[in-house]
């Protein structure tokens, strides 16, 4: 135990020191910073996906979670919306973000790309690149390379001017050029490899004094390090392409991004911990969690069909609240691995089988004093007891035990002792009074209203230049049919399509992330005489991946009007276009813009698609995160005090029949105490009186911990192991339940407590056949009124053993008020 505390002391003493300047280098083991090898834990937090006001606490929570590095992508189209016009204000202030990282004593990694994918519209590329003659993105193509070099150099020189590279005493220890190019390189044939070489040379030539990585690029040219992205890099990564490059994992996916129509992807804390521990056991030296905080895709920044909420399942949720047990379990993992630092970095690694075929030990260190071990059980079903250096260790299925001194189990990836927490929503204000709402009907333009004309169907993205999601396609024609019933048939490769005939809505269709937009077939009634057809084509974000992005097309492709006796094809016809909506052009979502138009009282006009709604609301009291509950709405976009909080699409249901996202984050920093302007653009038939302003908080915490799974009686060094000195002999920790309410709240009631064999987990539980009658009283005594409480899972705590000889569990669910 002494050795253990000594290691802990070393760890505390070795807090990150970034005061002295020095180039960052590397060898086959790890990055070398200030002459020292490092095993680093990093987490992705993207500056524009939260607000500058949130950055300090997000970074502090990441640091408290045991991270050393904050990683961010750099978002070209956010910074250079028009050629040569740069914007680094507010959420775009990358320098302020990196300085905040530095102020908190952490390192930074910037993944400049500048193609970043990242579920960010157009993969981060500014759309104006599309109009550069002869351009082919991400290829050995002069126009692209010229623009790419210009932007990358600009960012690097900004960082240098601010002295932000570690070589200058700053926090940046690593940068990335390109992104997952190896996945698509083959599509560029002979133009691929020279581009990779050029990108690497160009980056290295910028002389940052810190290494560059390329991820998913197994042929990354020296000295650029090839890095792994994925969920299981300990199993899938072929390794560095040179013996003197370290194993780096740039994207450890903590869950998966979500698209409209999908249920959230839940990746368990145990699974992430297993793969991180395995990667480190196999000489990995750098792990980045993608994402550590996902945040919000504000405005129109999300790529095709991606939810406004980004990686809410990350260790810090969309609102920056701890997602437990993920955050806490990974924190314990980091602590355990850091206790192994000396042997991991200086020692020799040997592997040995632990008896059975699926169990293996990775042992680091040259002698028994300086020794750390990772015991791996790769069996997904069996709990096993293994013997390692004369001691017994119990390894749950698919788990790794970390022994920082080759004796004491400091952590097992499958034993979660961190509490679970439940996020709750409280309605603060219902926006249900009719008199507080105004509405403004978006005009449905006809051919006569348009100024942009072509005798063909234009491509959507190249026409809007991404200044709006929307493009109107209009035409007018004389009806000389004698048929009574007509069918309007429209094919489109954009994401959504609304069709209007003579100003009246006739049909709607949309695609999804995986499926094309179906053909719109609507029965229509035509006037005798002139008819006006208006088609609204919409994109829910631009694509962000794949080769030849510049060749992608979207928009209306063919239009036919069919009668019983005649089919009229309008595909090559005289078309009139309007880019964007009138309300967008008038900026009705701003204070000034909204005051310039005439808002009607709610419900004064016939209810139609494409309506702007306006109201004001007060900020909820307190500090808890705020969200709009848009359950009653359909699809559209919402603005608060002139800032777009993102697209919403509540009418797109998952297979289980619920919206993919109902709550839309409104960062506190956007709010004034009173009279906040809320503007909603509703494309469908949503009901704004159903909207409420809600607050989000952790109101329930739950702990679920089992006694050791080691058989209750087991021979150990010739002795029988029985309570109470069992724990001294068994090299493990006595499991403990810990409950912790968020600041400002305390445990007000115990909703459930069972020491015995309760069934289920923190999500849904019930009493089992064995239950101690003291379960509730014992926990109430320890916890009521307290913010934090903890107690060991041990029968003596609960009076008599309710079922001797049976492994028991303690499950406690508590309310925080
Ligand atoms: C640091 O790296 C820069 C750029 O690669 C180089 O010019 C400089 O000589 C290096 N400094 C040291 C102390 O190695
Ligand atoms: C564990 O087993 C799976 C499935 O058999 C295999 O793909 C994986 O490589 C194994 N991992 C280790 C660390 O042995
Ligand atoms: C895109 O639009 C521009 C005009 O803005 C035009 O010059 C160019 O030819 C268009 N490109 C394609 C591929 O249609
Ligand atoms: C609508 O148009 C598409 C494409 O031209 C065609 O494949 C489809 O059969 C048409 N639908 C009807 C009902 O005519
Ligand atoms: C359509 O209008 C023309 C000319 O005004 C008229 O002759 C014809 O009867 C009308 N047809 C119908 C079906 O109303
Ligand atoms: C351990 O205890 C059990 C039951 O108390 C007994 O049957 C067994 O012989 C003991 N084993 C040893 C090695 O003492
Ligand atoms: C599965 C997943 O989240 N993949 C993402 C990894 O990160 C890149 C950003 O660099 C995204 O583009 C991928 O989609």
User: What does DSSP assign to residue 799?
Assistant: S
Q: Do both 713 and 743 map to the same domain? A: yes
> Is 26 inside a domain boundary?
no
Of 690, 707, 723, at which residue does a domain stop?
A: 690
CB 48 within 8 A of CB 78: yes
- Give yes or no: 683 in active site: no
Q: Calculate the alpha carbon distances from 816 to 693, 750, 781 in Å.
A: 21, 9, 16
* CATH of residue 561: 2.60.120.260
pLDDT, position 799: 82
The string of pLDDT tens digits covering residues 129-147 is: 999 999 999 999 999 999 9
Spatial contact of 605 and 442, defined as CB atoms under 8 Å apart: no
Q: How far apart are CA 194 and CA 541, in angstroms?
A: 31
Is the per-residue pLDDT at 733 higher than 80?
no
pLDDT of residue 734: 64
Let me know if residue 757 belongs to a domain.
Answer: yes
Out of 117, 119, 251, 332, the active site residue is 251
pLDDT of 282 higher than 80: yes
Q: Is the pLDDT of residue 222 over 70?
A: yes
Domain holding 761: CATH number? Answer: 2.60.120.740
Structure tokens, 714: 């087991």
CATH code, 66: 3.20.20.80
CB 669 near ligand 1, within 6 Å: no
Q: Which two three-digit tokens encode residue 778?
A: 């014992």
Q: Give the SS3 label for residue 809.
A: strand
Ligand 4, residues at Cβ distance < 6 Å: 489, 491, 519, 521, 558, 560, 562
Whether residues 552 and 625 share a domain: the answer is no
Cα(76)–Cα(261) distance, rounded to whole angstroms?
29
Residue 584 appears among annotated catalytic residues: no
pLDDT-derived band of residue 232, with 50, 70 and 90 as boundaries?
confident
State whether 365 and 327 are in the same domain: no
Same domain, 724 and 673: no
Please tell me whether residues 376 and 401 are part of one structural domain: yes
Please check the confidence at residue 729 and state whether its pLDDT lies above 60.
Answer: no
Residues in the chain: 817
| Distance in angstroms (rounded) separating the CA atoms of residues 303 and 314 | 19
The residue contributing the CA closest to ligand 1 atom 14 is 23
Taking a C-beta distance cutoff of 8 angstroms, is the pair 676, 714 a contact? no
Are residue 550 and residue 594 in the same domain, yes or no? no
Please indicate whether residue 762 or residue 202 has the higher confidence score (pLDDT): 202
Q: Which two tokens mark 543?
A: 């694509």
Which residue CA neighbors atom 8 of ligand 2 most closely?
235
**pLDDT given for residue 712 in this prediction:** 35
Q: Are residues 621 and 735 in the same domain?
A: no
Q: Is 713 in the pocket of ligand 6 (CB under 6 A)?
A: yes
Of 338, 356, 385, which closes a domain? Answer: 338
Q: For ligand 2, atom 2, name the residue with the nearest CA.
A: 378
CA of 295 to the centre of ligand 7 (A): 14
Closest C-alpha residue for ligand 4 atom 14: 489
Assess if residue 16 is contained within a domain. no
**Is pLDDT above 70 for 13?**
no
Identify the pLDDT of residue 203.
97
Task: Report whether 689 contacts 696 (CB < 8 A).
Answer: no
Chain-centre distance of CA 570, in angstroms? 43
**pLDDT tens across 92-141, in order?**
999 999 999 999 999 999 999 999 999 999 999 999 999 999 999 999 99
Ligand nearest to the CA of 160: 1
In a domain, 52, yes or no: yes
Angle between helices 94-103 and 55-64 (to 10 degrees): 40
Question: Widest CA span of the chain, in angstroms?
Answer: 101
Whether residue 657 is found in the same domain as residue 716: no
| pLDDT exceeds 80 at position 472 | yes
The CATH number of whichever domain residue 394 belongs to comes to 2.60.40
At 583-607, the pLDDT tens digits run 999 999 999 999 999 999 998 666 6
The pLDDT assigned to 577 comes to 98
Judge whether residue 382 has pLDDT over 70: yes
Q: What is the mean pLDDT of residues 558-569?
A: 91
The alpha carbon of 168 is separated from its chain's Cα centroid by a whole number of angstroms, namely: 31
352 alpha carbon to ligand 3 midpoint, in Å? 63
In this structure, is residue 28 part of a structural domain?
no
Collapsed DSSP state (helix, strand, coil) of residue 149: helix
Q: What residue's CA is closest to ligand 3, atom 10?
A: 462
713 assigned to some structural domain: yes
Confirm or reject: Cβ of 232 under 6 Å from ligand 2: no
Q: Is the dihedral of CA 139, 142, 144, 149 positive or negative?
A: positive
Compute, in angstroms, the gap from residue 720 CA to the centroid of ligand 6: 6
Index of the ligand 3 atom closest to the CA of residue 459: 14
CB half-sphere exposure, 215, CA atoms < 13 A: 25
Atom index in ligand 2 nearest the CA of residue 358 equals 14
Give the chain's domain count: 5
Whose C-alpha lies nearest to ligand 4, atom 2? 489
- Indicate which residue of 180, 394, 439, 442 is catalytic: 180
**Are residues 144 and 119 part of one domain?**
yes
Band the pLDDT of 1: cuts 50, 70, 90.
very low
Residue bearing tokens 């690029």 = 217
DSSP, collapsed to helix, strand or coil, labels residue 396 as: coil
Atom of ligand 7 nearest to the CA of 255: 3
Same domain, 596 and 529: no
Residue nearest (by alpha carbon) to ligand 3 atom 6: 131
- Is it the case that residue 14 has pLDDT exceeding 70? no
Helices (H), 82-122: 94-103
pLDDT digits (tens, 9 = 90+) for 420-469: 898 999 999 999 999 999 999 999 999 999 999 999 999 999 999 999 99
Ligand nearest to the CA of 555: 3
Using the 3D structure, point to which of 547, 562, 578 is the last residue of a domain: 578
Give distance in angstroms: CA of 318 to centre of ligand 3. Answer: 38
Q: Pairing mode, if any, of strands 643-649 and 663-666?
A: unpaired
Contact residues for 27 (Cβ-Cβ < 8 A; gap 6+): 37, 244, 246
Q: Please report whether residue 531 resides in a domain.
A: yes
Q: State which residues form the domain around 570.
A: 447-578
- Ligand 1, atom nearest to 22 Cα: 13
Same domain, 762 and 795: yes
Residue 23 lies in a domain: no
Residue 640 has pLDDT above 70, yes or no: yes
For residues 291 and 241, state if they share a domain.
Answer: yes
d(CA 249, CA 436): 52
**Closest C-alpha to 276, from 320, 237, 325, 224:** 237
- Among all bound ligands, the one having the nearest atom to the CA of 259 is 7
Half-sphere exposure of 625 (CA within 13 A, CB side): 27
């Amino acid at each position: 135990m002494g050795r253990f505390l000594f290691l802990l002391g070393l760890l505390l003493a070795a807090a990150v020191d970034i005061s002295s300047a020095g180039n960052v280098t590397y060898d086959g083991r790890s990055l070398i910073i200030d002459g020292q090898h490092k095993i680093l834990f990093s987490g992705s937090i993207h500056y524009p996906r939260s607000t500058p006001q949130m950055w300090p606490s997000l970074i502090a929570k990441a640091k408290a979670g045991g991270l050393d590095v904050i990683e961010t992508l750099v978002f070209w189209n956010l910074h250079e919306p028009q050629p040569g016009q740069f914007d680094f204000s507010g959420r775009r202030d990358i320098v302020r973000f990196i300085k905040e990282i530095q102020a908190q004593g952490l390192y930074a990694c910037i993944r400049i790309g500048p193609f970043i994918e990242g579920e960010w519209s157009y993969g981060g590329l500014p759309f104006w690149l599309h109009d550069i003659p002869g351009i082919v993105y991400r290829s050995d193509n002069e126009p692209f390379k010229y623009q790419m070099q210009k932007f990358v150099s600009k960012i690097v020189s900004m960082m240098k001017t601010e002295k932000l590279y570690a070589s200058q005493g700053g926090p940046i220890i690593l940068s990335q050029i390109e992104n997952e190019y190896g996945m698509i390189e083959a599509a560029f044939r002979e133009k691929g490899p020279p581009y990779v070489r050029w990108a690497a040379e160009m980056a290295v030539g910028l002389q940052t004094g810190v290494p560059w990585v390329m991820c998913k690029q197994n042929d990354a040219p020296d000295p650029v390090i090839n890095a792994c992205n994925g969920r299981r890099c300990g199993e899938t990564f072929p390794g560095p392409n040179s013996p003197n490059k370290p194993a780096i994992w740039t994207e450890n996916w903590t869950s998966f991004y979500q698209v409209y129509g999908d249920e959230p992807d839940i990746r368990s804390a145990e699974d992430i911990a297993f793969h991180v521990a395995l990667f480190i056991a196999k000489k990995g030296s750098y792990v980045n969690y993608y994402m550590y905080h996902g945040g919000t895709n504000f405005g129109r920044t999300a790529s095709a069909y991606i939810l406004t909420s980004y990686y809410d399942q990350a260790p810090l949720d969309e609102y920056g609240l701890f997602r437990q047990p993920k955050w806490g379990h990974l924190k314990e993992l980091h602590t355990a691995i850091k206790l192994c630092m000396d042997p991991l970095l200086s020692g020799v690694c040997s592997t040995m089988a632990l008896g059975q075929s699926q169990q293996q030990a990775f042992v680091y260190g040259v002698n028994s004093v300086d020794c750390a071990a990772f015991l791996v059980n790769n069996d997904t079903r069996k709990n096993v007891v293994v013997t390692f250096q004369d001691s017994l260790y119990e390894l749950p299925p698919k788990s790794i035990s970390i022994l920082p001194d080759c004796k004491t189990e400091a952590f097992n990836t499958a034993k979660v002792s961190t509490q679970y927490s439940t996020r709750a929503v409280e309605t603060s204000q219902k926006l249900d009074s009719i008199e507080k709402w105004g509405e403004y009907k978006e005009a449905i333009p006809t051919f006569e209203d348009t100024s942009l004309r072509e005798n063909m169907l234009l491509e959507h993205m190249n026409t809007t230049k991404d200044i709006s999601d929307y493009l109107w396609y209009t035409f007018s024609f004389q009806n000389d049919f004698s048929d009574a019933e007509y069918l309007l048939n429209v094919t489109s490769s954009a994401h959504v399509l609304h069709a209007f005939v003579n100003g009246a809505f006739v049909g709607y269709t949309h695609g999804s992330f995986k499926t094309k937009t179906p053909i719109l077939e609507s029965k229509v009634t035509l006037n005798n005489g002139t008819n006006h057809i208006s088609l609204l084509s919409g994109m829910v974000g631009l694509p962000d991946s794949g080769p030849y992005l510049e060749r992608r097309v979207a928009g209306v492709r063919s239009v036919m009007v069919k009668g019983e006796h005649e089919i009229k094809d309008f595909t090559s016809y005289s078309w009139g276009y309007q880019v964007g909506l009138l309300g967008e052009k008038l900026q009705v979502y701003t204070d000034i813009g909204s005051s310039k138009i005439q808002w009607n009282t709610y419900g004064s006009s016939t209810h139609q698609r494409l309506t702007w709604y306006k109201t004001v609301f007060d900020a909820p009291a307190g500090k808890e995160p705020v969200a709009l509950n848009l359950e009653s709405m359909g699809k559209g976009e919402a603005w608060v005090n002139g800032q777009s909080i993102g697209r919403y699409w509540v009418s797109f249901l998952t297979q289980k029949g619920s919206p993919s996202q109902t709550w839309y984050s409104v960062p506190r920093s956007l709010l004034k105490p009173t009279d906040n302007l809320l503007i909603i653009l509703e494309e469908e038939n949503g009901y704004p009186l159903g909207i409420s302003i809600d607050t989000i908080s952790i109101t329930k915490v739950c702990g679920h911990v089992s006694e050791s799974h080691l058989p209750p009686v087991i021979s150990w060094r010739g002795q029988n192991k029985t309570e109470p000195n069992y724990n001294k002999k068994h090299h493990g920790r006595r499991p403990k339940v810990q409950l912790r309410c968020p600041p400002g709240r305390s445990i007000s009631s115990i909703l459930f407590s069972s020491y015995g064999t309760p069934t289920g987990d923190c999500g849904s539980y019930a009493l089992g056949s064995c239950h101690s009658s003291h379960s509730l009283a014992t926990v109430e005594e320890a916890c009521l009124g307290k913010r934090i409480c903890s107690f060991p899972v041990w029968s003596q705590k609960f009076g008599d053993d309710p079922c001797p000889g049976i492994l028991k569990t303690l499950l406690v669910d508590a309310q925080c008020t």
